Amino acid sequence: MMDINEIRQLLPHRYPFLLVDRVSAIDLEQKTISAYKNVSINEPFFNGHFPQYPIMPGVLIIEAMAQAAGVLGFKMMNASPDDGTLYYFVGSDKLRFRQPVVPGDRLDLRASFISAKRGIWKFNCQASVGDVIVCSAEIICAERKI
């Protein structure tokens, strides 16, 4: 388990763009991670998306999955931004949205490592609320030294 302080050591994002609240499990042998984001009505994007029917923007669900995958990548490499390593979200394949995410939901994030070649990492990711998968994608990240 990783709390927000440990997550902040690995992800360079900060409010309002840090979208992983807690890592509930990480298995470096299986190369998987489980994390979550608590979705609150106080999120700044709900003011305009949409005021009468607030739903979490899909791009932010994708970003949350990418951030969880980034934590897994950092842990697999035993690296951090302090070492001069960053992961950039560079693409997705097989992206599907299945259900809206609304205030009060807990967005469960799962990522598993698929491959890494020449600094390009690929992860199979899912976001769910309860037992319902709301989004799935293969997330592609580029490892860069800064």
The residues assigned a catalytic role are 49
> Residue 120, Cα to own-chain centre: how many angstroms?
17
Distance, C-alpha 137 to centroid of its chain: 11
Residues 6+ apart with CB under 8 A from 77: 85, 143
Give every CB contact of residue 61 below 8 A, 6+ residues apart in sequence: 97, 101, 107, 127, 134, 135
CA distances from 16 to 1, 33, 40, 96, 127 (A): 22, 22, 12, 24, 19
3 state SS of 140? strand
